[in-house]
Homo-oligomer: A and B are copies of this chain.
């Protein structure tokens, strides 16, 4: 007798009729002492198991409660009810694990709607809920899509270090990694902590980006990408920030900024299409959830598009590309700006764009994803390539509706003399970047790269509103449970 995952069996459909099968899973519901909805995590759909109570012991039937786990042997028949093609008539039922209804009442496993916040408190159990399991399967598909895309394009997946002695990128506050007992840190002659005695012989941090190491790898392997966890010790309690999140960072030798923008747009379209093609059931469920949520919002906060329309829109339209300078003109001359509706009014060229400005451009003005490029030198990182105008750099950000910045990248400064000027101007320790500078000394080449935040991508595709609901175990200020 073949043991099927629920998805396998449902995919077989009517072909499976008359087969004797084994299915296993958790009880989602047991209706009328007759219909078990069984789910094993392989799909959002349940397999319906029909129980003729006369054939089973009453004690056994009493244990078929929500959240209990069962092994069922039975025959596949054409479903008598609507909603499913096939169902299984139980011949044998084995209770693998009970679930005491009184205990279940205290958890999110009880069959009623729960707030996402409540689900987060029981992050260990939320894998068994429809919403979170769907999000996890979509996340999985997006991740595999990313690997598949880069593999097909000849990129080498490179694991840049998580623990780093380098803090030159200056992308934000970093966590310290240490092997010291903090109650007994050794001190040096000056009375300061003596990091020479620490595990790595110096002060080390958790990485905020694999970019600099990724560039170095691309200078030998040609086209590489990193895909791993990155960290920010920022005390931000928002729906958009995590202390630990996953980043995808490709770096390509012989790529200029245009090629970089082409690649980023192509990647985003590829992986979104890959999810649409491979997560139909989960996305349908999440789309219904999203669309229903919209109807509960005030008219002016509602998304104009349904979730599936939003995804289709990305796939079928070219992203608008415009310079920072053009964007500032649009923003400055907008009624929104003139009427003082921005918290930060746009006055002059050189202003750093806030999230409100980015979203205005994407959601109100263009109503489509936008790639902004050629930003002022002063508001971007030291490693971005200086334009001939001497005041802008070859940076680019991709802005998505509802999300804001989803990709940030640039052509990298490959000219050692200009890089050194920037390093000095930005007050960065040149010595510490000896290895990064070396790649500009020995056969430097034009090259580019970008960073794509995985969780922001998952937010966009699933329509979820809080970044804590798209990662298994969110790490935020005062929260490292599980």
Contacts and interface: CB of A to CB of B under 8 A. Distances in A.
Interface stretch (A314-322, A369-377, A386-394, A438-446): A438-446
Contact of A180 (B137, B182, B217): B182
A479 interface: yes
Q: Which of A40, A132, A162, A213 has the most CB of B within 10 A?
A: A162
Interface stretch (A50-58, A119-127, A332-340, A402-410): A119-127
A17 interface: no
Interface stretch (A75-83, A228-236, A289-297, A460-468): A228-236
A68 interface: yes
Contacts of A123: 435
Contact of A244 (B42, B163, B202): B163
B246 A159 contact: yes
A285 interface: no
Interface in A468-482: 471-473, 475, 477-482
A16 interface: no
A437 to B, nearest CB: 10
Interface in A79-137: 96-100, 103-104, 107, 109, 123-129, 132-133, 136-137
A449 B471 CA distance: 22
B473 A160 contact: yes
Contacts of A173: 179
Interface stretch (A193-201, A303-311, A420-428): A193-201
B182 A182 contact: yes
Interface string A229-261: 101010100000001101000000110000000
A151 interface: yes
How many copies of this kind of chain does the complex include? 2
Nearest to A182: B193
B136 A479 contact: no
Interface stretch (A218-226, A262-270, A344-352): A218-226
A176 B165 contact: no
B159 A220 contact: no
B166 A482 contact: yes
Interface string A171-188: 001011111101101000
A124 B176 contact: no
Contacts of A136: 156, 158, 217, 221
- Most chain B beta-carbon contacts within 10 A, residue among A129, A157, A159, A162: A159
A127 B219 contact: yes
Contacts of A163: 175, 206, 231, 243-244, 475, 480
A7 interface: yes
5 contacts: A8-B154, A26-B220, A67-B442, A97-B442, A125-B439
Given A24-B445, A173-B179, A200-B478, 13 more contacts: A26-B220, A41-B156, A41-B220, A69-B445, A97-B445, A99-B443, A133-B220, A159-B471, A159-B472, A161-B482, A176-B180, A183-B193, A435-B482
Cβ-closest 8 pairs across A and B? A127-B220, A41-B222, A97-B444, A69-B443, A128-B220, A200-B480, A124-B435, A41-B221
